[in-house]
Structures are given as C-alpha cells and as structure tokens.
Amino acid sequence: MTGRSRSRIVVVVDDTDVDLTERNGPMTGLEWTLLSILIVLYITMMIVLGVTTLRKGRPALFVAGIFFPIFWIIGAVMPPAPTVAEVMEADREHNRLYAN
C-alpha cells in the first residue's frame, strides 16, 4: 500500500488490545436509520434557515452560511433588514424634525 500510513487508536480492555479504527462489519440497520434521519434533518434545517435568511434581506449571511452554516442560524434569528423605502422615509422624518 502506498501513501500515508493510517493512524491506529488502540485501547487496552481486560489485558486485550482493541483497535478502535477497525470496523467489525457493515453498518447495521439501526446505524443506517439514524444516519438517514440525521441527514434529512440537516438538509431540512439548511433549506429552512437559508430561505429564512434570504427572506429577511440578509444575502451576505446566506452566502457565508453555505460555507459556515452557523451564519444561517444568525441570519434567521436577526430582525429583517430595513428596506430602502424605510430608510429614506426615516431620513426624511429625521430631516423634518431636526431641520433648522
């Protein structure tokens, strides 16, 4: 075998070496079921949080969330970004109140 050698994790149990890097066989039905549930849950959360982040007007957090999903959680719980019309209206109101 060429390439890097594989690290081994060996634990001594009752004076017997147990190699934790070797599997004893294929995945069991329970392992497949749990893995499938986790994958479906992860994909569902990615879609829900990603769409929520976009709908709240946070495209930068959406793009960052593709690489670091924690940003989708942050974008989903943040308040919606103000629209241009809201900002302009607030600026007009400010100028009306504080104009000399």
pLDDT, one tens digit per residue, over 29-71 is: 998 999 999 999 999 999 999 999 999 999 999 999 989 989 9
- Is 10 among the domain residues? no
- Is 62 among the domain residues? yes
pTM: 0.58
Dmax (CA) for the chain in angstroms is 88
Beta strand segments in the chain, E: 10-13, 16-19
- Is 16 among the domain residues? no
Under 8 Å between Cβ of 11 and 18: yes
> Band of the pLDDT at 15, cuts 50, 70, 90?
low
- Is 3 among the domain residues? no
Q: Say if residue 81 is exposed, middle or buried (CB neighbours under 10 Å; 0-12, 13-18, 19+).
A: middle
Looking at the 3D structure of the chain, how many domains does it have?
A: 1
Maximum average pLDDT range among 14-18, 43-47, 79-83: 43-47
- Is 90 among the domain residues? yes
Measured between alpha carbons, how far apart are the two ends of the chain, in Å? 82
- Is 13 among the domain residues? no
- Is 44 among the domain residues? yes
For residues 51 and 75, give the distance between their C-alpha atoms in angstroms, rounded to a whole number: 10
Domain that holds residue 82: 40-100
- Is 89 among the domain residues? yes
